[in-house]
Structure 1
Amino acid sequence: MSRLSVFSIFQRLAVLLLTALFPVSGLAQSTEAETAPVGAIGNVFSFFEPIAETGLHGFFVLLGDQPIVFLLLALAIGYPLGRISLAGISLGSTAGVLIAAVVMSMVAESAFGLTYSIPSILSSVFLLFFMYALGLKVGPQFFSGLRTGALAFLVISFLVWSLNWLICVIGANLAGLEPGYAAGLISGSYTITAVMGVAQNAVQSGAYQLPANMTAEQVGANIAAGYAISYILSSVGIILVIRYLPQVMGHDPVADARTAEIEFSGGDDTALPGTADALVLGFSPYDLRAYRVEHPDFVGQTIGELTLRHREVPILRVMRDNVALDISDMLRLAEGDIITVRGDVHELILEGTEMIGPEVADAAAREVPLEAADIRVGSHEVSGKTLAELVQQAGYGVQLSAMFRAGQAIPIGPNTDVRFGDVLRLTGPDVAIQKAAKALGGRPILESTVTEVTYMAIAMAIGYLVGILSVTVAGIPIALGTSAGCLLMGIFVSYFRSRNPSFGGPVSEGARSFLQDIGLNMFVAVLGANVGPKVISALGGDTVLWLALIGILAALVPVIVAYFVADKLFKLNSVINDGACTGARNSTPGLNAIVDESGSTVAAVPFPLTYAVTTVLALFGGYIAMVIS
């Protein structure tokens, strides 16, 4: 039985089922309806009919017609593929998605003659999301990282670039490769597509003199072939090298990442305002107890009056007839009310029965939700006072867990002075938090699952515009790049949030993490779809073997050498060293690999500097490689 007849049988069965369930005038009587269902159902059958008729060919046609399905399938295959571990080594999600996309694209090209081409704007948008989200994570550590390791980062940048250039140019000459291959190898092994552009510019402008037996189109084809082969191998190879290089050199990336985080925060491991773990509730040294109000000193008293008399034992909840009342200074207690108090576990709690009334086992009374909030001091009247003085004004019912000035945690004690712009991290019930915020002249920033998209869009737009600004030097346009621009804007936003946590609106860590993950993997899925056909066209003869060998050496050897030099000469932290090397190699997927392996984004601190330096050097290097080819 053919696939077409099977399809027709299912088609008729569907029509009969629909007719039985939903009789429609003319549908049951129409002979045509039995063979060609109408409306939405008919559209569904006609949509999938090519697959039923032609099998795998139809499936790959569908993927070509519906690129979103292709990308989602690449993610669905790539993520579990990246988790497969052999001898303790796994590819990771990014490499898995890239391989899945490339293989599907190559199968479509080689088996069915289908060339996939997904608009590059899609990959660009997702890459910008990734870079901005990454910048939000590392912002507060970026500037302190530059102060401590700028020289080492510049040395790493120069080593990676110069060794890559030498391997590509000398290797192409020794292998006897035609003009154009060297520039393509630089572009692919560095994964900088713009290098192909400057190499083509050298050909078209006449800076490179074409041999008599070659045309500009042939040289351009060589550039593209060198790029395609080296790009795939270097993209996967660098992920594995960057992921496991610290362990190979005898380091523990998880422990070293933690050390780097503490070092860049000035020796304090308290999460800065506006960062992921800033408002995570920890252990509270206070105890909650519930008492029935019977003592004359409490009956008939207002919350405000009791606050002045027993400030160190705040009243957090009042229950009357099993209903929780709104706490306010004017609320007057009545006999029989159940109040929940909080205080240190000492005589004030132990004597609660004598001071208030009998203790009661009321679960509802003790269910007082605590919150952590960052509050920026916005009142000049508060500025200059000590914490001991502020306790009387704003300390009722809250616990001060940390204090920050200019983005740095400072020691806290009774005589610590509070200044305008300081950020205080308080823990307590909402009513106490709100009261403290009012006294400090600020507003509480609480843990939120909401992300303010307006600020994010404006910041990314500014980063994009900064990235496209270019300066032409010797005929070569030099620009920061849109991805680096968005990365820097994320860094700046996060940096200012560490000083004023309300800047940029609420940012959910879950949303930020999702943007970082899905952004990069959708980016590599699009690249894999588009580069697959180029790999097919480059396969054949000994040339492809030379391209593969030179490309993989140019991608990996410079990174290994630079890492070794920085490790032995500068004694650089292994994770920071890895981040600097992956930036010098312009490998965003490589950065994601060490972030996954170390469990920290601190590796991204040196990434923007080395990324920017080697991008400029690689563009000049590609132009020169083409001219002297």
Structure 2
Amino acid sequence: MDWIITTLKDYPELAIFLTLSLGYFIGKFKIGSFSLGTVTSVLLVGVLVGQLDIVISPNVKSVFFLMFLFAVGYSVGPQFFGGLKKDGLPQMLYAAVVCVLCLICPYLIGKIMGYDMGLTAGMLAGSQTISAVIGVASDTINQLGIPADQKAALINKIPVAYAVTYIFGTAGSAWLLASIGPKLLGGNLVEKAKELEIQLGGDAIGDDPSIASAYDRVIYNAYQIAAHSYANNKTVADVENELESKGRRLFIQRIRRGKEIIDASPEFIIKENDVVALGGRREYMMNYVAVNEKEVLDIELLNFPVEVLSVLIVKKEVINKTIADLRHLKYMHGVVVRSLKRSGIQMPILPNTVLQKGDMIELIGIKRDVDQVATHIGYPDRPTNSTDMAFVGLGIVLGGLLGALTIKVGGVPISLSTSGGALISGLFFGWLRGQHPTFGRIPEPALWIMNNVGLNIFIAVVGITAGPSFIVGFQEAGWGLFIAGAAATAIPLILGLLIGRYIFKFHPIITLGCAAGARTTTAALGALQDAVKSKTPALGYTVTYAVGNTLLIIWGVVIILIMS
């Protein structure tokens, strides 16, 4: 054991990876629906490892924190700037109001409780579940004109308060929105969600299964045409039109005539004994009853390449169009919408769901058809392992230089700090990628590494560094900090729901989604969707999430300045 401790002290990088491993392992466990989550688990394990008095260079956490913040901004940039347009402005304004409440409440509670800026900043980070505040607030404290030992003491209190208040910040937010939220907004929200789906064209689910669900798959069957089949002696186009007139959007992709296999064309005339490969949504195929045709197993006919392609929507001709509008465009023949993501969030696939610039839409169909659609609606996001590191590196450097600029107001130095600059740069570079998708690509796995591993290495170093003073800090703060944090979580959420209902007059389901987004609590979004049995709360989540993720991180600077 002595050898292990000595080795960890001599090679602190091993202590970081030990903390990550145990933190991620513990973070997987759930008690009912509650989990500590990865970030809190990594922090607590780091505190435990930190009892060994391991010294780690602060530059390590700075590098990974900048990477994390740039990735956060990059992910939400298109929605953040897209929200500035007319349709998104009410949601952006709502998110800004909620975020101001999320700053004011911890500040006032901290003042009432007599907390210093370290505990108050930690309470802000934990109660609002915005881990990045730990780093931003720490950077800001380091810029204050106070003795170094006082800076260290204040910075070490931040993770203490974060750990104590984060538990209710996460679990309490989900509970408040999913259980108390419906009571504050009035009515049966399951029915309200169904009403909203109907407004979005959800009543067409039975008539248009091709866009009913993001999780449905396209399948292909082979049918042999009989002499008395309605398809006999008709063109492919006529047969498809007749199927669609009966509420079945199916496509003939290939035809076998004798030993010859022919790619279908609209003018091709189908004859008796031809075998057609018919494709479409699974619901369509299940609802299709072959009265005059015989389903056959023709492996050779059905063995053709089908492409699943994600496309970044950037073309003006489809922006602000509904999915139903998209489906009726001529070039969509044979291609089906499989899923839609906005800022990484799965959106409901309903006929009147509006497409926005920067959305990632997943298409499925024969390769030539899918490729044709991609050229009309945006930029194909084909799988790749390559990250544009020139783009990423330049973004972080420019953001850091911006954040390093300092101005003095009343003798107090004010700056975004390099971390705040990296966030702002990420927003701009993410938006730039959406405008010009030919460069600046960060594959989803790489973005996950930057987001999750970047944040958790930062948190691991914070925990290890604060370890020796953590227990003392916790004893000083007492359980009153937990209650204070619960109040700082609940008050902005409750006020936010009432403001959404009575001032902004959002639909109740949209209000719930907006409240979850402004607080950047994805766990609460999942709980909401389960509670109302619908994906529709996501419609209010993405724009407000982009605003919340930006403002709440910047509050890490503001809370220190106003407390000082």
Q: Would you call these one fold, judging by a TM-score over 0.5? A: yes
Q: Distance in 2 between matches of 1:252 and 1:530?
A: 38
Q: Distance in 1 between matches of 2:395 and 2:465?
A: 29
- Equivalent residue for 2:476? 549
- Equivalent residue for 1:58? 3
The answer to whether the 8 A contact 2:402-2:421 is kept is yes
Are residues 327 and 595 of structure 1, via their aligned partners in 2, closer, same or farther at CA, if it must alter by over 3 Å?
Answer: same
The answer to whether the 8 A contact 2:49-2:464 is kept is yes
- The 5 A counterparts of 1:37-48 are none
- Equivalent residue for 2:411? 475
Aligned residues: 489
Q: Which digits, 9 at most, give the CA deviation of each residue in 1:112-168, with x for residues without a partner? A: xxxx22222322232233334444554565534422242232233123223324534
- Equivalent residue for 1:516? 451
- Equivalent residue for 2:13? 68
Decide which of 231, 245, 255 is 2:172's aligned counterpart: 245
Q: Distance in 1 between matches of 2:437 and 2:269?
A: 35
Are residues 327 and 460 of structure 1, via their aligned partners in 2, closer, same or farther at CA, if it must alter by over 3 Å?
Answer: farther
- Equivalent residue for 1:221? 149
Deviation at 1:236, TM superposition (A): 1.1
Decide which of 526, 529, 541 is 2:461's aligned counterpart: 526
Q: Which amino acid aligns with 1:147?
A: L
Decide which of 110, 117, 123 is 2:61's aligned counterpart: 123
Q: Distance in 2 between matches of 1:221 and 1:83?
A: 37
Q: Distance in 2 between matches of 1:57 and 1:349?
A: 74
- Equivalent residue for 2:557? 615
- Equivalent residue for 1:397? 334
Q: Matched residue of 2:221: which SS?
A: strand
Q: Which amino acid aligns with 1:288?
A: N
Q: Matched residue of 1:448: which SS?
A: coil
Q: Distance in 1 between matches of 2:32 and 2:357?
A: 56
- Equivalent residue for 2:380? 445
Q: Which amino acid aligns with 2:153?
A: A
Q: Distance in 1 between matches of 2:496 and 2:476?
A: 29
Instruction: Say whether 1:167 aligns with 2:113.
Output: yes
Q: Which amino acid aligns with 2:407?
A: V
Q: Distance in 2 between matches of 1:306 and 1:77?
A: 63
- Equivalent residue for 2:506? none
Deviation at 1:362, TM superposition (A): 1.1
Q: Distance in 2 between matches of 1:410 and 1:597?
A: 19
Q: Which digits, 9 at most, give the CA deviation of each residue in 1:586-611, with x for residues without a partner? A: xxxxx688689879986844232233
Deviation at 1:104, TM superposition (A): 1.8
Q: Which digits, 9 at most, give the CA deviation of each residue in 1:497-553, with x for residues without a partner? A: 7x76946565544443343322222111111222234x18xx8xxxx57x8434875
Query: Comparing both chains, which one has the higher relative contact order based on Cα–Cα distances under 8 Å and sequence gaps of 6 or more?
Result: 2
Deviation at 1:73, TM superposition (A): 0.8
Instruction: Say whether 1:157 aligns with 2:84.
Output: no
CA RMSD of aligned residues (A): 5.9
Are residues 367 and 154 of structure 1, via their aligned partners in 2, closer, same or farther at CA, if it must alter by over 3 Å?
Answer: same
- The 5 A counterparts of 1:217-616 are 220-228=148-156, 230-246=157-173, 249=176, 251-252=178-179, 282-283=215-216, 288-291=221-224, 312=241, 314-317=251-254, 340-342=277-279, 350=290, 360-368=296-304, 369=306, 371=308, 373-374=310-311, 393-399=330-336, 426-437=363-374, 440=376, 445=380, 448=383, 450=385, 452-454=387-389, 455-492=391-428, 502=437, 508-533=443-468, 535=469, 544=472, 548-550=475-477, 553=480, 557=484, 560-561=487-488, 563-564=490-491, 566-568=493-495, 571=498, 604-605=545-546, 606-613=548-555, 615-616=557-558
Deviation at 1:242, TM superposition (A): 0.6
Deviation at 1:363, TM superposition (A): 2.9
Q: Which amino acid aligns with 1:469?
A: L
Q: Which amino acid aligns with 1:448?
A: P
Deviation at 1:98, TM superposition (A): 1.5
Q: Which amino acid aligns with 1:475?
A: G
Q: Matched residue of 1:193: which SS?
A: helix
The answer to whether the 8 A contact 1:317-1:365 is kept is yes
Q: Which amino acid aligns with 2:170?
A: R
The answer to whether the 8 A contact 2:235-2:267 is kept is no
- Equivalent residue for 1:146? 92
Q: Distance in 2 between matches of 1:262 and 1:463?
A: 44
Q: Which amino acid aligns with 1:224?
A: A
Q: Distance in 2 between matches of 1:222 and 1:457?
A: 34
Q: Which digits, 9 at most, give the CA deviation of each residue in 1:80-131, with x for residues without a partner? A: 333455687543222222222222221x23xxxxxx2222232223223333
Deviation at 1:394, TM superposition (A): 2.2
| Identity percentage of aligned residues | 19
Q: Distance in 2 between matches of 1:168 and 1:159?
A: 14
Deviation at 1:490, TM superposition (A): 4.4
The answer to whether the 8 A contact 2:67-2:454 is kept is yes
